[in-house]
Amino acid sequence: MEKFIRHTGVGVPMRHSNVDTDQIIPAVYLKRVSRTGFEDALFAAWRNDESFILNQEPYRSGSVLVAGPDFGTGSSREHAVWALKDYGFKAVLSARFADIFRGNSGKQGLVTGQLAQDDIEQIWKVLENEPGTEVTVDLEQRQVRCADIVAPMEVDEYTRWRLMEGLDDIALTLRHTDDIDDFETSRPSHKPRTLV
Amino acid sequence: MGKTLAEKVWDAHVVRRAEGEPDLLYIDLHLVHEVTSPQAFEGLRLAGRPVRRPDLTLATEDHNTPTLDIDKPIADLTSRTQIETLRRNCAEFGIRLHPLGDVEQGIVHVVGPQLGLTQPGLTVVCGDSHTSTHGAFGALAFGIGTSEVEHVLATQTLPLRPFKTMAINVEGQLRPGTSAKDIILAVIAKIGTGGGQGYVLEYRGEAIRSLSMEARMTICNMSIEAGARAGMIAPDETTFEYIKGRPHAPEGKEWDAALEDWKSLRTDDDAEFDAEVTIDAGALEPFVTWGTNPGQGLPLSAAVPDPDSFADESARAAARRALQYMDLEPGTPLRDIPVDTVFIGSCTNGRIEDLRAAAAVVKGRRKADGVRVLVVPGSHRVREQAEREGLDAIFTEFGAEWRHAGCSMCLGMNPDQLAPGERSASTSNRNFEGRQGKGGRTHLVSPLVAAATGVRGTLSSPADLEPATPTR
């Protein structure tokens, strides 16, 4: 996985709350068996509307999504993260994220920075008044900067470390195979097995 | 200080704990389906990794599967490819699969409990957010993404931060015409779609204790709609009775040992929850959603709300947007909203008791003109059971379509979809924009309300119906 220290790119103000993963990527796109090429599927239904933010310059080429609270609710589909990444987003900022979406993002190197809603509102105003303004997401400093706004950003410490080191979760766990072997010897024998 | 049920199950599965790191948690049961697994298997192949415990893994086909003509090749090529990919992956990695047409095929969250694989005290995961269903047995069960699916396949563990715990006390007793679905819709409306974020919910109280296992599954199923990754109910005699004798239930001495373990799975009297919420089941009416997230719900006797009546700006904006999408006017009585389609099914309400409840309402009646009624059993076994009881005949005489098992119109990955602008009363779990088909509008309801709505053609409860006239 690519290391993430900080990123600066055009911010996209998305004033929706409760952006569920069905909106981020509708189910019809989940039939694919590949892990790449989902950029066309991102917000597919909303992109049919000309006034949708990603249909407008310069937001079209944005890489930092600044969204309303409860982003990524609903379905566990990691395709939502792949679609955001494939489109070119490096980070999503929101006052609240759904747990599964946030976990999926961390596995894929998409930063989910939690900001105070007041800071989100300030950043929205800047991005709407000065379209094309860049936002810096600084994982090292746990900070978001936009124009003269400097906002503290909450990220899970372990995920932050892993993203900054660019480490793959499975490889990290496989270092502890002995612990897993030990645990398995003490599992009760009445636990079910699928193969009989 | 004592422990909560969730903490007990968590602590019994910690493989490794280290300062500053998430706990490494052992996974007892990994359920797999065709949509969220192909990229995980591909990851294993690329890294040259095997599946660590195929004997703790089970796959079924559900999201994409057609509910008609299941003996013919799947017409949609991309769906067919995804199904065939699962079949190849299961064969290659030695995983048991129940494919379309198999007697054990069905929605993954209906199949696990039905086989007796879902048991108290287990950790259960699946690449599907409604894995919370299995918490009804006192298991810690939650949905995961595809990277985590790959992680569990490779290691049978997951690195996880401990959850906080929230008690949902459901006091009193449900009144006739209300059901488990109304409890959970009311809970979500109360705490909101983000209210459970970071928590495991434990449903407790008199009303919960009185519910059947299937009703408990309905409640735990929708925990994710309140933002909680998992919901749990302490196992009791109802639970043990349900499991006993199922194909994968322990037997003999193993049963006795299991039972002893299971009986310890309850929140200690001196344990403390991080948060507590109480609702009175006795005060509930049938609940329906009016908006585009599951928290936007009201009693059926209410009217479409005025967006300006909400306290904060974000809720006002969400309500305005939802009413525009749903094409609803503030002040319209919910009972006056006409629907085009009624969908009875899904992992929320596709089990035999749900079908019995709906059939009891529609028996001897004809559906309203112009309304399409789709009845989709949650599994092949449920379908067989319903046919043994003659429910299929009741539904078809009513004018409903009796289908094969799968996720179907809950998310419209197969041909069962709403057309743009169409409106449904649906026993499923999500009323998101376009969830049941692009441009489709969804009202979430219980099986009782779905059935009554099929009769009248507008959102209704059984109490709104004239007595049925005997047809023969």
The mean pLDDT value for A107-134 works out to: 98
Pairing outcome for strands B29-32 and B287-289: unpaired
Chain A nearest-CA distance from B276, in A, is 20
Nearest CA in chain B to A16: B318
The string of pLDDT tens digits covering residues A35-81 is 999 999 999 999 999 999 999 999 999 999 999 999 999 999 999 99
How many separate domains does chain A show? Answer: 1
Both tokens assigned to B391: 């429910």
Q: Please answer whether residues B137 and B115 qualify as being in contact, where contact means their C-beta atoms are separated by less than 8 angstroms.
A: no
Q: Please answer whether residues A144 and A119 qualify as being in contact, where contact means their C-beta atoms are separated by less than 8 angstroms.
A: yes
Q: Please answer whether residues A20 and B295 qualify as being in contact, where contact means their C-beta atoms are separated by less than 8 angstroms.
A: no
- Which residue in this structure is represented by tokens 């200080």? B1
Q: Which of B254, B275, B296 is the last residue in one of the domains?
A: B275
Both tokens assigned to A156: 């899970």
Cβ contacts (< 8 Å) between B227 and chain A: which residues? 70, 73, 98-99
Both tokens assigned to B171: 């006091």
Q: How buried is residue A55: exposed, middle or buried, by Cβ count under 10 Å (0-12/13-18/19+)?
A: middle
For residue B328, which amino acid is it? L
| Separation of alpha carbons B128 and A18, rounded Å | 19
| Domain identity same for B246 and B350 | no
Q: Which residues contact B8 (CB under 8 A, 6 or more apart)?
A: B121, B264, B265
> Measured between CB atoms, does B84 come within 8 Å of chain A?
no
Q: What is the CATH number of the domain that holds A40?
A: 3.20.19.10
Helix axes A99-108, A157-165, angle to 10 degrees: 20
**A44 assigned to some structural domain:** yes
| Domain identity same for B411 and B452 | yes
| Residues 346-405, chain B, touching A (beta carbon < 8 A) | none
**B472 assigned to some structural domain:** no
Cβ contacts (< 8 Å) between A78 and chain B: which residues? 36, 39, 127, 145-147
**B330 assigned to some structural domain:** yes
| Separation of alpha carbons B215 and B219, rounded Å | 7
Cβ contacts (< 8 Å) between B413 and chain A: which residues? 27-28, 30-31
**A115 assigned to some structural domain:** yes
Q: Please answer whether residues B254 and B461 qualify as being in contact, where contact means their C-beta atoms are separated by less than 8 angstroms.
A: no
**B404 assigned to some structural domain:** yes
Q: Which of B243, B275, B307 is the last residue in one of the domains?
A: B275
Both tokens assigned to B177: 């015409």
> Measured between CB atoms, does B105 come within 8 Å of chain A?
no
Secondary structure (3-state) at B187: helix
- Which residue in this structure is represented by tokens 């109490």? B463
| Residues 184-203, chain B, touching A (beta carbon < 8 A) | 193-194, 197-198
Q: Please answer whether residues B214 and B238 qualify as being in contact, where contact means their C-beta atoms are separated by less than 8 angstroms.
A: no
Cβ separation A193–B26 shorter than 8 A:
no
Chain B nearest-CA distance from A99, in A, is 6
Q: Please answer whether residues A29 and A36 qualify as being in contact, where contact means their C-beta atoms are separated by less than 8 angstroms.
A: no
Chain A nearest-CA distance from B21, in A, is 6
| Domain identity same for B264 and B299 | no
| Domain identity same for B240 and B310 | no
Q: Looking at chain A, how many residues does it have?
A: 196
Cα Rg of chain B (Å, integer): 22
Q: What is the CATH number of the domain that holds B329?
A: 3.30.499.10
- Positions of chain B with pLDDT lower than 70, given as ranges: 470-472
| Domain identity same for B254 and B304 | no
Chain A nearest-CA distance from B151, in A, is 6
**A183 assigned to some structural domain:** no
**B280 assigned to some structural domain:** no
**A195 assigned to some structural domain:** no
Other C-beta atoms closer than 10 Å to the C-beta of B9 total 25
| Separation of alpha carbons B76 and B79, rounded Å | 5
**A196 assigned to some structural domain:** no
Q: Looking at chain B, how many residues does it have?
A: 472
Secondary structure (3-state) at B61: coil
Cβ separation A104–B434 shorter than 8 A:
no
Q: Tell me which residue range forms the domain holding B227.
A: 5-275
> What pLDDT does B397 receive?
98
Identify any residues that bridge with B167 across adjacent strands, giving them in sequence order.
B202, B276
**A116 assigned to some structural domain:** yes
> Measured between CB atoms, does B98 come within 8 Å of chain A?
no
The interface predicted TM-score of the complex, written ipTM, equals: 0.95
CA B330: distance to chain centroid? 30
SS3 per-residue string spanning A50-95? CCCHHHCCCHHHCCEEEECCCECECCCCCHHHHHHHHHCCCEEEEC
Query: B52 to each of A2, A167, A177, B26, B49, how far by Cα in Å?
Result: 27, 21, 11, 12, 9
What is the residue-averaged pLDDT of chain A? Answer: 97
Identify any residues that bridge with B342 across adjacent strands, giving them in sequence order.
B373, B425
Dihedral sign of CA atoms B225, A100, B348, B179 in order: negative
| Separation of alpha carbons B57 and B124, rounded Å | 10
Cβ contacts (< 8 Å) between B142 and chain A: which residues? 100
**A174 assigned to some structural domain:** no
| Domain identity same for B345 and B258 | no
| Domain identity same for B296 and B261 | no
Per-residue pLDDT for A196 more than 80?
no
Cβ contacts (< 8 Å) between A99 and chain B: which residues? 197-198, 227, 229
Across the A/B interface, how many CB contacts are shorter than 8 Å? 210
The string of pLDDT tens digits covering residues A157-183 is 999 999 999 998 999 999 999 999 999
How many separate domains does chain B show? Answer: 2
> Measured between CB atoms, does B129 come within 8 Å of chain A?
yes
**B102 assigned to some structural domain:** yes
**A98 assigned to some structural domain:** yes
| Domain identity same for B186 and B312 | no
| Domain identity same for B238 and B312 | no
Chain B nearest-CA distance from A44, in A, is 10
For residue B454, which amino acid is it? G
- Closest partner residue to B145 among A76, A176, A189, by Cβ? A76
Q: Which of B275, B310, B344 is the last residue in one of the domains?
A: B275
| Domain identity same for B60 and B81 | yes
Q: Tell me which residue range forms the domain holding A99.
A: 6-167
| Domain identity same for B83 and B193 | yes
Chain B nearest-CA distance from A9, in A, is 26
> What pLDDT does B471 receive?
52
Both tokens assigned to A82: 């792949």
**B471 assigned to some structural domain:** no
Cβ contacts (< 8 Å) between B442 and chain A: which residues? none
Pairing outcome for strands A91-94 and A111-114: parallel
| Separation of alpha carbons B205 and B281, rounded Å | 10
| Domain identity same for B100 and B32 | yes
Query: B31 to each of A94, B27, B387, how far by Cα in Å?
Result: 31, 11, 27
- 3-state DSSP percent of chain A in helix, strand and coil, to 5: 40, 20, 40
- Which residue in this structure is represented by tokens 């006002």? B316
**B297 assigned to some structural domain:** yes
> What pLDDT does B470 receive?
62
What is the residue-averaged pLDDT of chain B? Answer: 97
> What pLDDT does B207 receive?
98
